């Protein structure tokens, strides 16, 4: 274990620079997300992920955001265990009949202000769509950074 | 004396190269097969229905023969197999509710995938049996589901813990009902079906190309295994010629998929024992596999790369170098990680002896993959029902009998080594040539079977094509069907805090099961 730890200290980090927030996502967000996000939350966003019937491909790539190459938490973005701790509900899958109630109850448990990021799904009012089957981790990151960036710009304009 | 020898007589070579012979059985023969399953002389590969009857796929391990038995259903009822052979119960419940059939004598007739929220019943029964309520086009978030009676539990000082369908982590949805005495789990009952998308209905009437896309989206972590099993089934039904190089490329993808999943899961299992360092190290290797796949096949998970008739694209000039570098990276890193796992007492304290699966249960349920192999079941379709190119490759199938979380981790570590070896062999021996051929037209209805060893176990796909080459019925059986019930067995007597460890060491598919 010591060898691995020392390697971790002296080796160049694997973590890659942040991708540029996706322009299309930024435009789309203009209609949805106000300045509230930045004012209330700074650059910190807590995300609750709900699988509403995906094939589990999206979950694998969302989990990959935590690996050292993407290191999601350096941006102040983190996945939380309960919707009550969340600012953002990230939804995957087509929203099956059998999951619709659980998804609605998860959404109801998220305190205001709150946002929906859809990785395909659409029964809730969606603030940001991230496309792909499944989207690459870089695309997920671009979309989430757009959410942060847009909020920051909104604050500057006020 | 096995009564089923006549029915279970199809060798791998036969069903892998041509259409399935239809074996219609009488009710008496159906019952005899059920008894052979119950006595352990046969393994159940799957049980499903179509509009004409119910079908069973059976395996005789000793002779490595399989068989398909079809019972024509009259009066919408068939003799229950689950009554004598528990592994058939959930498959039977699903077949019954989708087609509006009754399993006579079944001890458990609760609905399984149907939560009472679809707005229609028996969705696959066709005009004869479907009883559509006002068929909704939108999900019904406010619909109140019918009560689901969990099995009753009696005893002193028991309480229940209900978990899911939304779980704490980024995983798929399902409900777990624990009955606990103090910290100790005395019973777990799972309720699944939350990710049911109606895949069987989407398949019916679809083109073969559309079917391949759907198959590849059944369980995202096994997209190659599913696409391959689907392609096998269609190619066998049509007796379609497939270029030799395509088989090798498929195996290359399948082993890369296995590598990515095993690496990811070994890290994730350790993380569930709060040992985050293994997750970090393993997730780096997993990411490197996915990037190599992306570079070589144009998609990180190689989705839609295996197609009926061959593969969608060939490797370019640099791919061999990319893959050889990948193998070297993993081979360099693996010994230290294995030593880290094996040398960390606090980690082994959580994995050794936890979630032990009795070999007798693994055998009875025909548990595939590392779940079965860690509990003594010596079965791997790549070796035992071989398909090209595995019949030309050197493969050792690891096996243990201790059956705990630790054993499942070790089987996966050993399978990582096997996959690295297989990829080396494939890169060295792969023939040149075309990678895709046009499928012959179907001029009459035909059926084919696909059986592929995915990372989780054997994926079975049965495809029936109509005279126009469209899909009349496609049944897909994920290995999880026979593993989910065993998870309920292994948690018994363990503390509830060890459930994540047990669960991750099984890593059953929700989507692959729920369809």
Q: Is the pLDDT of residue B89 over 50?
A: yes
Q: Do B283 and A101 touch (CB under 8 A)?
A: no
Closest CA to A150 of A128, A130, A119: A128
Tell me if chain A has a CB within 8 Å of the CB of B145.
yes
Neighbours of B327 (CB within 10 A): 17
Candidates A59, A101, A102; nearest CB to B170: A59
CATH number for position B352: 1.10.645.10
List strands edge to edge, sheet with B175-181. Answer: B158-163, B175-181, B184-191
The pLDDT mean for chain B works out to 93
Percent of chain B with pLDDT over 90: 85
pLDDT interval class at B317 (50, 70, 90): confident
Taking the C-alpha atoms of residue B488 and residue B485, their distance in angstroms, rounded to an integer, is 5
Instruction: Give B331-389 pLDDT, tens digit per residue.
Output: 999 999 999 999 999 999 999 999 999 999 999 999 999 999 999 999 999 999 999 99
Instruction: Give B201-236 pLDDT, tens digit per residue.
Output: 999 999 999 999 999 999 999 999 999 999 999 999
CATH number for position B109: 3.30.460.80
Q: B131, B154, B184: which is the final residue of a domain?
A: B131
Q: In terms of CA atoms, which chain B residue is nearest residue A100?
A: B141
Instruction: Give B60-83 pLDDT, tens digit per residue.
Output: 999 999 999 999 998 899 999 999
pLDDT, residue A121, reads 56
CA distance A158 to chain B (A): 36
**ipTM for the complex shown:** 0.91
pLDDT, residue B423, reads 98
pLDDT, residue B135, reads 43
Taking the C-alpha atoms of residue B299 and residue B292, their distance in angstroms, rounded to an integer, is 9
Q: CA separation (Å) from A68 to A46, B301, B325?
A: 19, 19, 20
Instruction: Give B177-206 pLDDT, tens digit per residue.
Output: 999 999 999 999 999 999 999 999 999 999
**Which residue, among B194, B264, B333, would best test binding to A if mutated, counting the most A CBs under 10 Å from its CB?**
B194
Closest CA to A111 of A72, A140, A84: A84
Does B138 or B44 have the greater pLDDT score? B44
Domain positions in chain A: 21-157
CATH number at A21-157: 3.40.50.12280
Tell me if chain A has a CB within 8 Å of the CB of B119.
yes
Domain assignment of residue B62, given as a range: 10-131
Average the pLDDT over B450-474 and give the result: 96
Q: Do B195 and A79 touch (CB under 8 A)?
A: no
What b/e string do you get for A17-26 counting C-beta neighbours within 10 Å, with b at 16 or more?
Answer: eebebbeebb
Instruction: Give B7-35 pLDDT, tens digit per residue.
Output: 888 888 889 988 987 789 999 999 999 99
Q: Do A67 and B139 touch (CB under 8 A)?
A: no
Taking the C-alpha atoms of residue B189 and residue B24, their distance in angstroms, rounded to an integer, is 35
Is residue B144 in some structural domain? no
Instruction: Give B408-426 pLDDT, tens digit per residue.
Output: 999 999 999 999 999 999 9
Is residue B81 in some structural domain? yes
Q: In terms of CA atoms, which chain A residue is nearest residue B333?
A: A4
Average the pLDDT over B434-451 and give the result: 94
Residue stretches of chain A with pLDDT short of 70: 22-41, 121-123, 150-158
Helix B405-429 to helix B319-342 angle (10° resolution) is: 160
Tell me if chain A has a CB within 8 Å of the CB of B5.
no
State CA B207 to chain mean position distance: 23
Instruction: Give B276-307 pLDDT, tens digit per residue.
Output: 999 999 999 999 999 999 999 999 999 999 99
CA distance B346 to chain A (A): 13
Is residue B464 in some structural domain? yes
Average the pLDDT over B390-418 and give the result: 97
H helices of B41-193, in order, are 89-99, 126-129
Chain B neighbors of A60, CB-CB under 8 A: 220-221, 264, 301
List strands edge to edge, sheet with B65-72. Answer: B10-11, B65-72, B53-60, B43-49
Tell me if chain A has a CB within 8 Å of the CB of B272.
no
Chain A neighbors of B509, CB-CB under 8 A: 56
Q: Pick the range with the lowest mean pLDDT from A12-21, B463-472, B497-506.
A: A12-21
Q: Is the pLDDT of residue B131 over 50?
A: no
Q: Do A66 and B218 touch (CB under 8 A)?
A: no
Count of the separate structural domains present in chain B: 2
**Would you say B187 and B478 are in contact if contact means Cβ atoms under 8 Å apart?**
no
Q: Is the pLDDT of residue B308 over 80?
A: yes
B237 and B348 share a domain? yes
Tell me if chain A has a CB within 8 Å of the CB of B360.
no
Q: In terms of CA atoms, which chain B residue is nearest residue A133?
A: B303
pLDDT, residue A155, reads 39
pLDDT, residue A153, reads 54
**Which residue, among B118, B139, B169, B217, would best test binding to A if mutated, counting the most A CBs under 10 Å from its CB?**
B139
Return the number of CB contacts < 8 Å for A and B: 138
Helix (H, G, I), strand (E, B) or coil at B506: helix
Q: Pick the range with the lowest mean pLDDT from A19-33, B258-272, B316-330.
A: A19-33
Taking the C-alpha atoms of residue B387 and residue B251, their distance in angstroms, rounded to an integer, is 10
CA distance B293 to chain A (A): 13
Find the length of chain B. 515
Give B297's Cβ-side CA count (13 Å radius).
25
Going B354 to B355 to B361 to B366, the CA torsion angle's sign is negative
Taking the C-alpha atoms of residue B228 and residue B232, their distance in angstroms, rounded to an integer, is 6
Q: What residues in chain A have their Cβ under 8 A from chain B's Cβ atoms?
A: 1, 3-4, 14, 49-64, 66-69, 79, 81-83, 93-104, 106, 123, 133-134, 136
Neighbours of A35 (CB within 10 A): 16
Average the pLDDT over B455-480 and give the result: 96
State CA B466 to chain mean position distance: 26
Is residue B364 in some structural domain? yes
Q: Do A57 and B223 touch (CB under 8 A)?
A: yes
Taking the C-alpha atoms of residue B354 and residue B403, their distance in angstroms, rounded to an integer, is 9
pLDDT, residue A36, reads 55
B362 and B471 share a domain? yes
Q: Is the pLDDT of residue B267 over 80?
A: yes
Q: In what helix (H) or strand (E) does residue B27 lie, and over which residues does it extend?
A: helix B27-39
Chain B neighbors of A52, CB-CB under 8 A: 173
Q: Do A4 and B277 touch (CB under 8 A)?
A: yes
pLDDT, residue B137, reads 42
Q: Is the pLDDT of residue B128 over 80?
A: no
Taking the C-alpha atoms of residue A37 and residue A53, their distance in angstroms, rounded to an integer, is 28
pLDDT interval class at B134 (50, 70, 90): very low
B442 and B324 share a domain? yes
Residue labelled with tokens 């993808």: B253
Chain B neighbors of A68, CB-CB under 8 A: 280, 283-284
């Amino acid at each position: 274990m010591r060898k691995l730890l020392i390697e971790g200290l002296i080796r160049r980090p694997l973590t890659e620079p942040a991708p540029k927030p996706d322009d299309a996502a930024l435009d789309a967000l203009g209609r949805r997300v106000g300045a509230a996000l930045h004012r209330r939350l700074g650059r910190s966003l807590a995300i609750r992920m709900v699988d509403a019937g995906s094939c589990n491909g999206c979950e694998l790539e969302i989990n990959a955001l935590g690996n050292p190459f993407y290191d999601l938490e350096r941006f102040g973005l983190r996945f939380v265990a309960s919707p009550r701790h969340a600012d953002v509900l990230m939804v995957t899958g087509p929203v099956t009949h059998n999951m619709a109630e659980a998804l609605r109850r998860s959404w109801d448990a998220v305190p205001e202000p709150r946002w929906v990021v859809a990785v395909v799904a659409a029964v809730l009012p969606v603030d940001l769509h991230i496309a792909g089957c499944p989207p690459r981790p870089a695309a997920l990151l671009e979309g989430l950074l757009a959410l942060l960036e847009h909020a920051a710009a909104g604050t500057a304009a006020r | 004396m096995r009564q089923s020898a006549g029915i279970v007589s199809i060798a791998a070579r036969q069903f892998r190269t041509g259409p399935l012979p239809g074996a219609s059985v009488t009710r008496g023969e159906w019952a005899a097969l059920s008894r052979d399953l119950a006595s352990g002389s046969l393994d159940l590969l799957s049980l499903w229905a179509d509009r004409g009857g119910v079908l069973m796929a059976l395996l005789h391990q000793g002779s490595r023969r399989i068989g398909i038995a079809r019972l024509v259903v009259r009066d919408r009822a068939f003799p229950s197999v689950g009554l004598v052979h528990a592994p058939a119960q959930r498959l039977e419940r699903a077949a019954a509710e989708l087609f509006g059939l009754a399993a006579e004598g079944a001890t458990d007739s609760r609905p399984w995938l149907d939560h009472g929220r679809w707005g229609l019943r028996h969705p696959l029964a066709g005009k004869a049996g479907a009883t559509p309520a006002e068929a909704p086009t939108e999900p019904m978030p406010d619909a109140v589901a019918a009560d689901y009676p969990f099995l009753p539990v009696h005893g002193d000082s028991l309480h229940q813990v209900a978990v899911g369908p939304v779980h704490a982590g980024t995983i798929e949805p399902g409900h777990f009902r624990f009955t606990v005495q103090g910290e100790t789990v005395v019973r777990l009952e799972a309720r699944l079906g939350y990710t049911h998308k109606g895949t069987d209905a989407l398949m019916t009437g679809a083109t073969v190309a559309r079917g391949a896309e759907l198959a590849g989206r059944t369980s995202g972590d096994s997209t190659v295994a599913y696409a391959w099993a689907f392609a096998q089934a269609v190619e066998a039904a049509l007796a379609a010629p497939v270029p030799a190089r395509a088989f090798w490329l498929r195996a290359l993808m399948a082993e890369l998929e296995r590598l990515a999943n095993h690496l990811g899961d070994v890290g994730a299992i350790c993380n569930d024992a709060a040992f985050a360092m293994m997750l970090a190290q393993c997730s780096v290797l997993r990411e490197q596999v996915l990037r190599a796949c992306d570079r070589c096949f144009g998609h990180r998970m190689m989705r839609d790369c295996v197609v009926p008739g061959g593969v969608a694209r060939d490797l370019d000039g640099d791919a061999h170098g990319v893959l050889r570098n990948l193998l070297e990276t993993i081979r360099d890193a693996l010994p230290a990680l294995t030593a880290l796992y094996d040398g960390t007492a606090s980690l082994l304290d959580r994995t050794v002896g936890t979630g032990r699966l009795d070999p007798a249960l693994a055998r009875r349920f025909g548990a595939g993959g590392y779940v079965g192999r860690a509990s003594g079941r010596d079965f791997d379709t790549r070796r035992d029902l071989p398909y090209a190119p595995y019949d030309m490759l050197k493969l050792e199938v690891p096996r243990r009998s201790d059956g705990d979380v630790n054993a499942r981790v070790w089987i996966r570590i050993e399978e990582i080594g096997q996959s690295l070896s297989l990829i080396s062999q494939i890169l060295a021996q792969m023939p040149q040539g075309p990678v895709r051929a046009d499928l012959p037209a179907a001029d009459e209805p035909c059926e084919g079977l696909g059986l592929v060893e995915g990372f989780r176990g054997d994926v079975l796909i049965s495809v029936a094509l109509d005279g126009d080459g469209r899909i009349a019925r496609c049944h897909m059986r994920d290995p999880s069907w026979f593993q989910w019930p065993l998870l309920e067995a292994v948690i018994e007597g363990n503390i509830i805090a060890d459930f994540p460890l047990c669960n991750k060491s099984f890593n059953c598919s929700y989507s692959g099961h729920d369809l």
